[in-house]
Amino acid sequence: MDNWYEEIITEIRQLIEQKQYEQASALVTKELSMPYIPSDIEKQLQQLQKDIRYGKSENRVVQESSLDQILMDLNGDASRQLAAVNALMGRNLRQLTDEIQAYFNSDPFPQAQALLINAIASQQIEEEFTVIKDGLEYTFDGDCVVPVDQCEGFVTARQYLQEWLGNKYPSVYELAMKVLVSAIYMNLPLTYDKEEGRDLAYECACQVADLLQDEVLQEQLKQYASDYNHVILN
């Protein structure tokens, strides 16, 4: 019996060390509710119960402190803003709508702002937000914005890039995909329709071809455009 209690006490202590406070608390409560507990074991369980309460309290303070630091980093340079937004993406943004709008009002780093808008869209936040882009004001409801991975224009553009570049120019395809993803993000809170996908793919591919100064690829892309226009006209 003594060995059994020792195992329980050891398991609870291990859970506390791992900050698994809810599981540890459940075990303590279960043992304390037993009809009979040796007095020395009862004292140990009661002390562990106090340790769990302290651990929970300390953990909440750390989490709040971490959130405070994240929100402070939103006022930092570009890299700190990006890191802060990345950390916020794993949180419930419904609890931070005021802080998010304050960030949008602070002339944020454009890429960080775009990532946060996409996170709002992904969590379908039913709140109104306002952002400034290129001197223009955009007001949008978070649950009405289309997340990047669900953008029909993105899906269509990716298919065209795969068709044009995927097999023959795999490295160019990877670069063009990066340009495409960036374009979709930076267009938020607006989106691209399916009908815009081909033109978007062409623009992204041309940007990469021009960057690489690849004349063969440039001519190939012009041929794709010519063939497409010929099909449309006929």
Q: What is the pLDDT of residues 124-181, one digit of tens each?
A: 999 999 999 999 999 999 999 999 999 999 999 999 999 999 888 898 999 999 999 9
Give the type of residue at 223. Q
Is 227 inside a domain boundary? yes
Is 106 inside a domain boundary? yes
Residue-number span of the structural domain to which 11 is assigned: 2-65
Residue 42: which residues within 8 A CB-CB, separation 6 or more?
Answer: 32
| Residue 112 and residue 46 in one domain | no
Give the phi and the psi of residue 124 in degrees, each rounded to 5: 50, 55
| Residue 134 and residue 154 in one domain | no
Is residue 231 predicted with pLDDT exceeding 70? no
| Residue 14 and residue 44 in one domain | yes
| Residue 159 and residue 94 in one domain | no
- Number of domains observed in the structure of the chain: 3
| Residue 216 and residue 173 in one domain | yes
| Residue 132 and residue 178 in one domain | no
Residue-wise pLDDT for 67-78, tens only, equals 888 899 999 998
DSSP β-bridge partners for residue 133: 136
Is residue 113 predicted with pLDDT exceeding 90? yes
What percentage of the chain carries pLDDT values higher than 90? 49
pLDDT at 60: 62
Could you tell me which of 23, 58, 53 has the C-alpha nearest to residue 8?
23
pTM, 2 dp: 0.69
For all residues of the chain together, what is the average pLDDT? 87
Is 193 inside a domain boundary? yes
Is residue 225 predicted with pLDDT exceeding 50? yes
Residue-wise pLDDT for 19-53, tens only, equals 888 788 888 877 776 766 778 888 888 899 888 88
pLDDT at 1: 46
Is 179 inside a domain boundary? yes
Is residue 63 predicted with pLDDT exceeding 60? no
Contacts of 39-48 with C-beta under 8 Å, sequence gap 24+, read 41/5, 41/9, 44/9, 45/9, 45/12, 48/9, 48/12, 48/13, 48/16, 48/24
| Residue 105 and residue 42 in one domain | no
HEC string for 168-229: CCHHHHHHHHHHHHHHHHHHCCCCCCHHHHHHHHHHHHHHHHHHHCCHHHHHHHHHHHHHHH
